[in-house]
Amino acid sequence: MKRILLVSIAGAMLASILSAEPVCVQDTLENYITNNVVCTIGDKIFSNWGYSSATTTAAQVNVVPTPGPTPNLDPAVQFSSGAWNAFPGQTKDATIFFTVAAPAGIMLIEDAGVVVAGSVTGTGTGTVDEHMLNPNTNADIPGSPLHAAVTVGPTNPHVDFVSAGGVPMTSLNVQTFVHVSAGSGSHTTISAITEDFSQITAAPEPVETLLIGSGILALGLVWRKRTSHQS
């Protein structure tokens, strides 16, 4: 009965939180920024979008929600663009900003990863650095930033916050630095950046624990009353 009660409370809280915000839809990053969009992908809430670049614009970047392999769990947000490309002698840099949060009181973000798609010919370079910042200190959490390159090193680096010496987080401020450059006779393209986040179950808050305990106590009293009548 205790397990059923815990699951029922968690399920009700999750449904309440997720229904409070709309589901993220595919659109330009410019529209996300202009409309101050707060939305959900799976069980995560995304907000505080931003973009900075001297060579490209947010209108050239698409936000593509990517639900995880398990319903609601381990969702990802993908940013795709045809503007992150460099021809000989060119360099382009951009920074994407957003906040990701787990359902309050239910989950904590435990790890994160980034996958980069693109191509390089010649001596070109294409890299992505994903900085995950503690929203209270605005400093990188242990294991951050994650570094991914189009052709050099791991293309899908991942970090477990606890293994890196940190702790699971309620929310993260994410800054993603995009860099493409091309030397003589080369060409570099980053076509898509996919950033995913997974979680663990959070310990119940004191108030929730009290409510659960009260419910269990009430069930115990009912059971005792019934057994005393039967005897």
Mind listing the pLDDT tens digit of every residue in the chain (231 residues)?
334 334 433 443 444 444 478 999 999 999 999 999 999 999 899 999 999 999 999 999 999 999 877 666 678 999 999 999 999 999 999 999 999 999 988 899 999 999 999 999 988 999 999 999 999 999 999 999 999 999 766 667 999 999 999 999 999 999 999 999 999 999 999 999 999 999 888 765 454 444 444 444 444 444 455 445 455
Angle at 12 between CA 11 and CA 13, to 5 degrees: 90
> What is the rounded CA–CA span in Å between residue 67 and residue 74?
7
Compute φ and ψ for 22, nearest 5 degrees.
-70, 160
Helix pair 2-20, 206-230: axis angle to 10 deg: 140
